[in-house]
């Protein structure tokens, strides 16, 4: 899928104008706030390899050069993050992230565990989750290669893909 946003070396950003019509919450943000949203929420962010709390902190420092926790926890920012995620939503990537959070929880729990059988079960569970993450990442890569092929070998437009992602995300969030 095309990138939703491009950040150049001067931290200037170019948001596709079509997205502004789809997502009015972006219009309420200034450039630095929008930069934070992108760095924190984008699947291809430079901070994507970090856990959620670390990604949030690094994106905040990158965008604002200071600690503005009250700003990033405001309703405007949280709505924009949710809307941004909805535009690029991929259930396989989200599932892999949940698995990684579970692995992190297992590792924290193992710090105080001394029972060999319990440690062995935890290690087995972690190995299973890691293999599931690898399988999901492989599926995502394959989907990227096959993306957008519809009947008659036609492809979906970029905007149609974004709308489809948003619709899927909203249907899942409304079920919770």
Q: Are strands 149-150 and 13-15 parallel, antiparallel or unpaired?
A: unpaired
The phi and psi torsions of 6 (rounded to 5 degrees) equal -120, 130
Intra-chain end-to-end CA distance of the chain, in Å? 27
pLDDT band at 2 (very low <50, low <70, confident <90, very high): very low
Look up residue 66 and give its two tokens: 């200071």
- Across the range 47-72, mean pLDDT stands at 88
Look up residue 58 and give its two tokens: 């690094």
Under 8 Å between Cβ of 65 and 58: no
Can you say whether residue 37 is alpha, beta or left, with left for phi > 0 and alpha for psi between -120 and 50 degrees? Answer: alpha
Taking the domains of the chain in order of start, what are their residue ranges? 5-88, 91-175
How many Å apart are CA 155 and CA 152, to the nearest integer? 9
Q: What 3 state SS string does 20-73 have?
A: HHHCHHHHHCCHHHHHHHHHHHCCCCCCCCCCHHHHHHHHHHHHHCCCCHHHHC
Residues in the chain: 176
Helices (H), 111-153: 116-146
| 22/65: higher pLDDT | 65
> For 10-42, how does the pLDDT look when each residue is reduced to its tens digit (9 = 90+)?
655 556 666 777 788 888 888 888 889 888 988
Q: What is the pLDDT of residue 24?
A: 80
| Residue 74 pLDDT exceeds 80 | yes
- Across the range 86-104, mean pLDDT stands at 90
pLDDT band at 1 (very low <50, low <70, confident <90, very high): very low
Q: What is the pLDDT of residue 150?
A: 53
């Amino acid at each position: 899928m095309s990138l939703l946003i491009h950040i150049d070396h001067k931290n200037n950003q170019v948001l596709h104008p079509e997205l502004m019509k789809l997502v009015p919450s972006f219009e309420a943000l200034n450039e630095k706030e929008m930069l934070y949203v992108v760095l924190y929420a984008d699947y291809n962010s430079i901070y994507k390899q970090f856990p959620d709390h670390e990604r949030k902190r690094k994106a905040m420092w990158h965008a604002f050069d200071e600690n503005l926790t009250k700003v990033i926890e405001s309703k405007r920012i949280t709505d924009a993050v949710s809307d941004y995620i909805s535009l690029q939503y991929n259930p396989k990537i989200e599932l892999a992230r949940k698995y990684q959070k579970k692995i992190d929880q297992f590792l924290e729990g193992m710090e105080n565990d001394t029972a060999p059988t319990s440690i062995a079960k935890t290690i087995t569970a972690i190995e299973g989750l890691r293999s599931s993450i690898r399988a999901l990442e492989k599926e995502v890569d394959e989907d990227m290669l096959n993306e957008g092929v519809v009947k008659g070998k036609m492809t979906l437009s970029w905007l149609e893909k974004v709308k489809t992602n948003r619709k899927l995300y909203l249907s899942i969030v409304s079920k919770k």
